[in-house]
Amino acid sequence: MTTDLSKFTGITIALHSCYDAEGNIAPETYKTLCRHYDSLGIHGLYVCGSTGEGLLMNTKERKIVLESVMEAVGDRMTVIAHIGSLATRDSIELARHAEEMKVDAISSLPCLYYPATDEAVEAHWNAIIDSVDLPFIIYNIPGTTHYTLTPELCGRMAANNHVIGVKNSSMSSYDINRFKRIGGDNFIVFNGPDEQYLAGRMSGAVGGIGGSYGAIPELLLKIEDYIQQKEYEKAQQVQNAINEIIEKMYATESFIAAAKEIISRRVTPVGTPRMPILQLSEESQRLIDGIIRYIDNAIENL
């Protein structure tokens, strides 16, 4: 399989969920949000991942989300469909739907809930990969899955020409460097932790996929522009501001709820997260006021 890897560089937003007042999928809101990101020059979207609450949706809902995204921007932005599920057969169903939608790639978490050994994770991923003819991106996020991608499994997966890279969300830029060295020149690695975007890029990541990006896309575009210009001190200043914002968001009951509230105020109402994700208290709502002021100031002055 030959894949144009250049389409996966730069800023890829981990797309947040869009619900109506009753908590149902809101297709038109998804379209509005995606078109907004496209107008800013965002390169790609990662759909129904952790940030997008994909695991809190059923397969029908996830298909509706992807269809909405593809209708809105599928011909202008790189779209990666996260199809990870508790059951491998559900992931395969979603992968086949993603292929019908002509996405640029699919991605998946390892096995969930049941003990995940290298053998089980490898079988899970390979069953998905063998079901379609799409590029596949490993999703390594040990903080939530309690499974850490090993160098041995990374090497075996990278030998499959359908596996083009890793979305690495472990809190170590060394892992990015290691997975890149294992995979080689034609293997891409995305930085996952937003707090280390600059460090990740310096360690070999081609770009990033992040959960804060949707709330502060302008700042992610700024830091990437400074990296391209080799203005690393300016890039560090933007990273410092991003980290301040992230820390303020984590001071609320829920990072995801905080990000969605910021998006709702800055772009379009996207609803609140589904349970068991916590909602924001009145005190946290007031904190969002200050966070948005900080964001606006950073965009204007950095």
Residues taking part in catalysis: 139, 167
Phi/psi at 172 (5° precision): -155, 120
Are 211 and 255 contacting, i.e. CB atoms less than 8 angstroms apart? Answer: yes
CB neighbour class for 119 (10 Å; exposed up to 12, middle 13-18, buried from 19): exposed
Give the residue from 249, 300, 281, 282 showing the smallest Cα distance to 16. 249
How far apart (Å, rounded) are the C-alpha atoms in residues 165 and 188?
4
- Is 80 in contact with 62 (CB distance < 8 Å)? no
CB 146 within 8 A of CB 116: yes
